Amino acid sequence: MDIKHYMPNKKPRRSDRLNSKEKAAFEETIKVNMLNSCILGYFDYLPIELKFRILRFLTVEDLSILTISSKAMRNLVEGYRVTQFSGPHRIPYEELHSSLSVEEQAMMLSRFHKLGLLMKRSTCVYATKDRLKIVNEFLTRMECSNVKTCKDMSRCIALLCFGKFLHTVIAGWDDSECQRVFDSLCQHMCVHRLVKAVVANKPGLHSHIEVKVRHFFRRIFLDPCGTVLDKAFWITRVLKPWPLVFQARLLYLLYSGHCSGGEIQWHEMSENTPSDLEQSTQYFGNVSSILQILYMHSVEWSSDEVICLIDEMISTPEDWLVENIAGLLLACGEPMATKMLASRAINGRYVEVASIVASLCLVCVKHSNNSGMSQVMVMLKRIVSVVDNWKDRLLLLCRISDTFKELILDTHEFIDSDDGNDAEFYHHVTAMTEFAKQMTHLAFKNVLEV
């Protein structure tokens, strides 16, 4: 029996001390060698289940930063993302389709931005084809028609969250890769077929598909855009494959017509006019912004193409009321409005130009837009200057006065104080008066500004 075994405090003999020292040094060397062969250091000693368990305590941002720290760590996080992404990292696919408060919506969007960042970093060595596969799978899980809990698509933010995710994943990709993304997602959701059904048939015939197409393009590609150049790129992807008439129809579907009661209001522009500036912004704000982006920031559209698109849209699906054409042009700004009216004036379409100019004045008066009146005079000056000879210029100017006269007489004829036509009459007279004042100012400019 070795009694020393029970006497741990007893000082070992010198020879024993040497042995244990050598043993410890040997073990330390083995440990260092093993550690050197482990890419993740001590972390590699842990079984995979425990590693994943630890990753669960990290935030999505931390995980995404880990993926760029080393190849081994990226593989580990990617393995965790693919197999164990649950618990605190569970993606709330179902909740996205329920009614959320503004704060909850903002939180969701931020969450999907972070997920996009994780996906972008953890798949950075994958081929575009494989990354697109992951993106498509993501969309399948989020798409409203695949989720039973989605009761109201108009209030649901699932596609918007997917859009945020997508734009984060593809940030910095070149145009040809972004085109591949667009084609892949459209193909995955059979959107080309849906668009064809919408633009080639009578407006409103497939109202459900129309709304679906609008939400698909707006929420995934257009609304999450961070810059005007991005928006110009994506709206071009949506419109360019189609002929002009279909482009106009699509543009109306996406931005011009309101989407209420689960239907696009196709006849709104031919039947109603906005009553004040706020309503006018609701009518024309979105569509004028996108037209300005195409006109000023897209290299893929010439100014003539944009004007043709407007021309086509203002008769989609039937002719718009002149007052609405004037409202759109005012919202689009002076350069675009002048370009469009000047091309009509060059072609001798004076009646149309006069009618729109009179309506521009009317809209300014109705919406108390004083700066708008001076904008109209700048437009008129430029439009008149493109007309060839002085006789035609005079003809155009006189035509505007005649239009005012006709408008006033028409309203007077149907005046009935009970249905509010007296307000219309007042606005027409005021519009003509304001126009006359501006003209007087121009005519007597030399005397007035001495």
Stretch that binds Zn ion, among 144-152, 163-171, 326-334, 376-384 (CB under 5 A): 144-152
- Please, what is the minimum distance in Å from the beta carbon of residue 440 to Zn ion? 58
55, 77, 118, 144: residue in contact with Zn ion (rule CB under 5 A): 144
- Please, what is the minimum distance in Å from the beta carbon of residue 158 to Zn ion? 4
Stretch that binds Zn ion, among 124-132, 151-159, 381-389, 424-432 (CB under 5 A): 151-159
Q: Is 156 in the site for Zn ion (CB under 5 A)?
A: yes
Q: Is 150 in the site for Zn ion (CB under 5 A)?
A: yes
- Please, what is the minimum distance in Å from the beta carbon of residue 189 to Zn ion? 14
Q: Is 139 in the site for Zn ion (CB under 5 A)?
A: no
Q: Is 108 in the site for Zn ion (CB under 5 A)?
A: no
Stretch that binds Zn ion, among 15-23, 120-128, 158-166, 201-209 (CB under 5 A): 158-166
Q: Is 379 in the site for Zn ion (CB under 5 A)?
A: no
Q: Do 340 and 355 meet the contact criterion of CB atoms below 8 Å apart?
A: no
Stretch that binds Zn ion, among 72-80, 119-127, 148-156, 378-386 (CB under 5 A): 148-156
**Residue 89 CB neighbours (<10 A):** 17
Stretch that binds Zn ion, among 138-146, 256-264, 337-345, 437-445 (CB under 5 A): 138-146
Q: Is 158 in the site for Zn ion (CB under 5 A)?
A: yes
- Please, what is the minimum distance in Å from the beta carbon of residue 425 to Zn ion? 48
Q: How many residues bind Zn ion (CB under 5 A)?
A: 5
- Please, what is the minimum distance in Å from the beta carbon of residue 208 to Zn ion? 14
Q: Is 97 in the site for Zn ion (CB under 5 A)?
A: yes
Q: Whose Cβ is closer to Zn ion: residue 77's or residue 158's?
A: 158
Q: Whose Cβ is closer to Zn ion: residue 189's or residue 313's?
A: 189
Q: Is 249 in the site for Zn ion (CB under 5 A)?
A: no
Q: Is 55 in the site for Zn ion (CB under 5 A)?
A: no
Q: Whose Cβ is closer to Zn ion: residue 93's or residue 173's?
A: 93
Binding residues vs Zn ion (CB under 5 A): 97, 144, 150, 156, 158
